[in-house]
Amino acid sequence: MEKITEILEQLGLETNLSLDEIPNIDLYMDQVIQLFENKFVDSKRNDEEKILTKTMINNYAKGKLIFPIKNKKYSKEHLILMSLIYQLKGALSINDIQVTLDGLNKRIIKEDIEIDSFYNSYLALSQKNVADFNNDINERVKDVNEEVAKMEDRNSAYLEQVLMISSLVHMSNLYRKVAEKLVDEIVVDKEGKRHR
């Protein structure tokens, strides 16, 4: 499992769009796509993977994941929402993301939220999550090595990899299930007010 350290370095886990990188001027769709592609290039699994496309952005707008744009331009607030969507779509359905972000969208429209402050809190938690993850992954490697040592198998390197993949996917599923339950707790009544 020596490869884990190498893999972690390649993933760019700490990559996020910071507020300083978001222009204070509205951007056209092509500029938004270029900004995201440049920022998250290291996060891509392979060269064919697209970070953000015109179709994705149009689907976010149609699905009401982002509030309506003006004059074919995207504001700083739109970019913050798209950055959140980029992270959320790895674990949640588009419908769950819409439910999750609906209140933010409404508060942005009403100018009832300090979105920069909210986003900075998200970025701070993301940094802490990466640190916690790096510690946790080392524990998982130890646990997997201990389990493989109990087996008498000539193909232990392969079995070690399968156990590690299975363990990581299981942890991912556990976190996703909790996130989905939290989404389910966001209830919208007939007037569109949120309750917990």
Q: E-strand spans in the chain?
A: 27-28, 73-74, 187-188, 194-195
Q: How far apart are the first and last CA of the chain?
A: 43
Q: How many CB atoms lie under 10 A from the CB of residue 60? A: 21
- Is residue 89 located within the same domain as residue 140? no
Q: What is the pTM of this model?
A: 0.88
For residues 116 and 150, what is the distance between their CA atoms, to the nearest angstrom? 51
Domain that holds residue 71: 14-117
Asked if residue 9 is part of any domain, the answer here is: no
> If the chain, 196 residues long, is cut into consecutive pieces of 10 residues, what is the mean pLDDT of each piece?
80 90 96 96 88 96 96 96 96 95 96 96 96 93 91 84 95 96 76 52
One domain, residues 136 and 105? no
